[in-house]
Amino acid sequence: MIPDCDLRLDSCADPVRVNSTMPDNDNAVDKPEEACGVFGIYAPGQEVAKLTYFGLYALQHRGQESAGIATFEGRQLHEHRDMGLVSHVFNPEILAGLPGALAIGHTRYSTTGSSRRCNAQPVIVDTKLGQLALAHNGNLVNTTQLREYLVDRGCEPTTTIDSEMIALIIREEVNAGKSWVEATISACRLCIGAFSLTIATPDGIMAIRDPYGIRPLVLGIMPDHVSHYVVASETCALDIIGADYERDVKPGELLWIDKGGVTAIDWAPKAQPKLCIFEMIYFARPDSWVHEESLYSYRMRLGKQLAAESLVDADIVIGVPDSGIPAAIGFSEASGIPYAEGLIKNRYVGRTFIQPTQEMRESGIRMKLNPLRDVLKGKRVIVIDDSIVRGTTSRKLVKALRDAGATEIHMRISSPPVTHPCFYGIDTDTQDQLIAATKSVAEIAAQIGVDTLAYLSWEGMLAATNQDPNNFCSACFTGDYPVEIPDGVKKSKLMLEMGLIN
């Protein structure tokens, strides 16, 4: 039994309101939202807080709610985390107060409405071997069981986040006499779901992926210091600090990085790759590399396959910035229809304390995307986007394009219809809110107001990877979940299958 379960997180009792009012459903985010990004660095002789800052800066697209860094200076841990963007949470003075040669960092995605500082990471716990800091990307599906496991052993978690459960179980195993690596493996074997972790200890850092590798994690080396190692959710975080990509952390693998170098341990011998296909389609940055190529190249192939499956006569092809642009260029190349920029994105639109007028809310798409009238006027337009989740944004977008003078609008989606929610670290609506779960393609086309609508086929999406199609999780399109979902968790989102709605 652990006598002291002090966890270094703030109370969750007082939420920090980002907006004074909750947005109505028609103005809710109409894209799946990623959970977070993780980063870790081991660089003896260097101060690594600033490098960690830039690594998180490159991973900002994976989460905008909160950011945090924990460093070790010898056996002394220093940490800072807060709500907001990486550039807002840290400044030179704060980074100067985070000395040390090894660090981990975390950036968390933004939920609608209230945000809570207690959910900011890294999670910090005390153990017999010293303090431990943990950053987590993914989502466990057995959090309730893990909480009961801890409570039975006299350790009462202070939050409901699954990341805390992992850290506390590692703590318990360390206090029972196991090493950092042994304790972490024991904890991971109790966890069910998706987890890519970076963990900092006074003696080294760890990088771990779940047995399916649902969330990405890569290893890099600083070229001028072969004993300096970096781990991150994506290769773009290596590029920004000048690290060279070495390899992916394998599904079911733990890397222990210390003064002896990198020790690789296959802790889940029955590991089977199931990388989230939405990482390929949308979440990861297009300049990040997966399977020895940039995701820009894959997304262009999606567009080419989309043109092969659902070509229509038109004057121009445009992409919905930013994620729809590579597929739009691929569609244009394959079809011979000219590509044009028809939408300009305001890259500085974020959350605001100032509520727009109702008239602005009704035409809210223009706050983020503004049509180019002289490009669109009198044109038959093919619009390429990566997904449609609820349909609200698509409807506003189509109206804005028609107001700008487009005579025909043919929407093409570079992924299949999203019919099932995700349980592995992507924030999607309950099933009844997913437009493709309750409506046919023709009904969706009528609702969003396009002349025609077509989605990429599931087979085409997987074929474009040029990889074994069995190595991806595509449950949001098929309902075939690689990790079994407990009934209680299913009921929270699978409302149609569970018969919870009329």
Concatenated DSSP letters for 210-263? Answer: -TT--S--EEEEETTEEEEEEEESSTHHHHTTTPEEEEEPPTTEEEEEETTEEE
* Token digits of residue 73: 């200076």
Q: What is the mean pLDDT of residues 313-326?
A: 96
Query: Looking at residue 456, what DSSP letter applies?
Result: -
| Residue carrying structure tokens 């093409």 | 412
Task: Give the confidence band of 341 by pLDDT, cuts at 50, 70, 90.
Answer: very high
Tens-place pLDDT, residues 45-85: 999 999 999 999 999 999 988 999 999 999 999 999 999 99
Could you give the C-alpha distances from 186 to 128, 164, 180, 213, in angstroms and in order? 17, 15, 10, 18
Q: What is the mean pLDDT of residues 374-379?
A: 97
| Residue carrying structure tokens 């006569």 | 313
Nearest of 332, 214, 274 to residue 462 by alpha carbon: 274
SS3 391: coil
| Residue carrying structure tokens 């959350």 | 351
29 vs 150: CA distance, rounded Å: 35
Of 502 and 397, more confident: 397
Cα dihedral: 22, 26, 30, 33 (round 10): 20
Residues 200 and 72: beta-carbon distance below 8 Å = yes
* Token digits of residue 257: 């990085």
* Token digits of residue 418: 């999203």
Residue 368, pLDDT score = 82
Residues 402 and 7: beta-carbon distance below 8 Å = no
Task: Give the confidence band of 359 by pLDDT, cuts at 50, 70, 90.
Answer: low
234 vs 59: CA distance, rounded Å: 8
Residue 123, pLDDT score = 95
| pLDDT greater than 90 at residue 111 | no
Strands of the sheet containing 66-73, edge to edge, are 76-83, 66-73, 102-108, 36-42, 225-232, 218-222, 244-248
Task: Give the confidence band of 24 by pLDDT, cuts at 50, 70, 90.
Answer: very low
Cis peptide before 322 (omega within 30 of 0): yes
304 vs 403: CA distance, rounded Å: 29
Q: How far apart are the first and last CA of the chain?
A: 47
387 vs 391: CA distance, rounded Å: 9
Burial of 71 (0-12, 13-18, 19+ CB in 10 A): buried
In terms of DSSP H, where are the helices of 153-224? 162-175, 180-188
Q: Which residues on adjacent β-strands are paired with residue 132?
A: 125
Q: Which residues on adjacent β-strands are paired with residue 247?
A: 219
Q: Which residues are catalytic?
A: 36
Number of other residues whose CB lies within 10 A of the CB of residue 76: 12
Amino acid, res. 252: G
Secondary structure string (H, E, C) spanning 325-381: HHHHHHHHHHHCCCECCCEEECCCCCCCCCCCCHHHHHCCHHHHEEECHHHHCCCEE
Residues 256 and 206: beta-carbon distance below 8 Å = yes
Residues 201 and 72: beta-carbon distance below 8 Å = yes
| pLDDT greater than 80 at residue 18 | no
Q: What is the mean pLDDT of residues 168-174?
A: 97
Residue 158, pLDDT score = 79
Burial 88-120 (b: 16+ CB within 10 A, else e): ebbeeeebeebbbbbbbbbbbbbeeeebbbbbb
Task: Give the confidence band of 222 by pLDDT, cuts at 50, 70, 90.
Answer: very high
Residues 341 and 375: beta-carbon distance below 8 Å = yes
Q: Which residues on adjacent β-strands are paired with residue 37?
A: 107
Tens-place pLDDT, residues 470-502: 999 999 999 999 988 887 777 666 656 656 544
Per-chain mean pLDDT for the chain: 88
Q: Indicate the range of 1-15, 202-216, 262-276, 325-339 predicted with least confidence.
A: 1-15
Provide, rounded to the nearest whole percent, the portion of the chain with pLDDT above 90: 73
Residue 1, pLDDT score = 34
456 vs 465: CA distance, rounded Å: 13
Cα angle 59, 147, 62; round to 5:
10
